[in-house]
Structure 1
Amino acid sequence: MTTGVRLIRHDQLAQTVDYAYAATVDAPVRSIWVAGACPLDLDGNTVAVGDFAGQAHQVMRNLVTALEGAGASLTDVVKTTVYVASTRQADLVTAWKVYKEAMGEHDVPSTLLGVTVLGYDDQLVEVEAVAVIAEGRQEAPGRG
């Protein structure tokens, strides 16, 4: 059973971007809003201090885990926001490359932002997501 997520591109917008401009969902669905996934280990410690790519990898692992807890996966995501605590575009690109690798061909609409500071000590990267799953699809066991 699929969610009916359809990624939208438009020939009157730049074709050089590596994300869809919009997404639609054509099936009855259950919506999932995922809090910003952070680069924390199981003990709540920030991993890969000072390393944008290392933190982005942990963020994406944590995002996958959060989605699985709601019975979803990355391919059910319809929108993301990627936050990077830096004013350097190169740092944003470093985090974005890890994000894109994890998302694969599922290039959903996303916003990439450079921000001043994030919530945890030494945190450099955070990704929040909205996902949908088809009604009636079984939820994965998670903490409720």
Structure 2
Amino acid sequence: MPVELLRTEALSDRAPYAYAARISGGGVVFTAGACPLDAEGRIGPVGDVAGQARLVMDNLVAALASAGARLEDVAKTTVYVATDRREDLLAAWEVVRAVFGEHDAPSTLLAVPLLGYEDQLVEVEAVAVS
């Protein structure tokens, strides 16, 4: 099979999809949007953009690890923030950039009206090469 769908026990099973996919032979990894779901599948912390961004990044690291990839392997990200306030965009972005550190891969930062889970404010998806 050219596409291997990856799931991990490190992340909640609430999401009805694989957290990452690896293209066999090529080492290209696509992640689903990492959501601020804790181990029990709850959104947290409610109302806290920066707090949700930290949990999202923890979950992104776990999804990448399931594919044998690390943050340093990421070629591009897309960051979604459910807001109409620039301050919220910047709060999420500061967390994402801090977690990536010196690895400043291309990224798109978007304000959106709504994300998939109730009370969800942040989501990050990535493309990596491992």
Normalising TM by the smaller chain, what interval? 0.7 to 0.9
Residue 128 (structure 2) aligns with: 131
Classify the secondary structure of the residue corresponding to 1:36. coil
The equivalent position to 2:67 in structure 1, one of 66, 70, 76, is 70
For the residue of structure 1 that corresponds to 2:123, the secondary structure is strand
- Kindly indicate whether residue 101 of structure 2 is the aligned counterpart of residue 85 of structure 1: no
- The answer as to 2:121 corresponding to 1:117 is no
- Superposed CA RMSD: 0.9
| Bigger Cα Rg | 1
Counterparts of 1:90-109 in structure 2 under 5 Å? 90-109=87-106
Query: Which residue number in structure 2 is paired with residue 44 of structure 1?
Result: 41
Aligned to 2:18: none
Residue identity matched to 1:84: V
Higher RCO structure (Cα 8 Å, ≥6 apart): 1
| Distance across 2 between alignment mates of 1:132 and 1:121 | 32
Q: Distance in 1 between matches of 2:92 and 2:71?
A: 17
2:58 aligned residue (61, 76, 92): 61
* Distance in 2, Cα, partners of 1:131 & 1:77: 4
Q: Structure 1: how far apart are the matches of 2:102 and 2:129?
A: 17
TM-score w.r.t. the length of structure 2 is: 0.80
Q: 1:11 maps to what in 2?
A: none
The percent identity for this pair of structures is 61
The list of structure 1 runs, each at least 4 consecutive aligned residues, that deviate by more than 2 angstroms after superposition, is none
- The number of aligned residues is 106
Secondary structure of 1:37's aligned partner: coil
Q: Scaled by the length of structure 1, what TM-score is found?
A: 0.72
Task: Report the Cα offset of residue 87 of structure 1.
Answer: 0.8
**What is the identity, as a one-letter code, of the residue corresponding to 2:92?**
A
Structure 2: 5+ residue stretches without partners: 1-24
Give the CA deviation at 1:82.
Answer: 0.2
Matched residue SS, 1:68: helix
- CA–CA distance in 2 between the matches of 1:98 and 1:130? 19
Report the secondary structure of 1:130's partner residue: strand
Q: Which amino acid aligns with 1:91?
A: D
